[in-house]
Structure 1
Amino acid sequence: MIWMRAPDVKLLRDFRRLWAQALAIALVIAGGVATLILAVGSYRSLDETRTAYYERHRFADVFATVSRAPRTLVSKIAEIPGVASVDARIAKLVLLDIPDYLEPATGEVKSLPEIGEASLNLLYMRVGR
């Protein structure tokens, strides 16, 4: 038979007397762990969704803006090691007058290839043709 030492007996008596506080502490810790698990799960879900969206629409990893550049520069950039695809477009910022908005919104108009679809940054149509 195992006999308990005096400090062990005192600890059990204290715990029996403070059971409500011990339960409250355990519930707070459980709530914190649950919050952490939910936050990590949400973060992973959002990260996977963003990655899938970028892959589905072939979103570019790197953008370079120039005022004027010769068309031959596109082939030189494509020859750089590690570059999978290059797409040259014309982009212009415009002001959009949207009904029910007090101030005009800023938009960006981008050119599209004459034939076929773009190799990078595909368009996403919400409505229309």
Structure 2
Amino acid sequence: MPQLLLICDPPLKLGRGLIAALSLRGMDVGYLNHASECYGAVQAYRPDFLIVASGTQPAPLDRTMRWMARADGESDRARVFLTGDASSAKLADQWQWPRELCLPRPIDASTLIRLLFETTGTIVATT
């Protein structure tokens, strides 16, 4: 069964080449444009990875993000990345989120692939 990356950041669009590379590695990508859609999709599909825009989420999605990202050893918890127009350090400080999970826009494709696949134990070559 493919892994699922949900993107809840309307300005963020991954290039076709990156989506194809993710697909070859067994990962589907889904886009959602509104926080309410994202909250419902997170509940329904329990994605493996979630990319969320900073500052646009209502409280229920914020709670869901934190619930999904708990480091409790359960394999069905997603890794949640926070995106925004600030630096990783500023996003981490502002949202009290781990710096390594904060990605400034635009997201570097090789960085994203490394972050996604280092958590699955899959070895990936990045360029």
Could you state the TM-score of these two structures normalised by the residue count of structure 2?
A: 0.24
For the pair shown, the structure with the greater C-alpha radius of gyration is 1
Structure number having the greater strand percentage: 2
TM-score by length of 1: 0.24
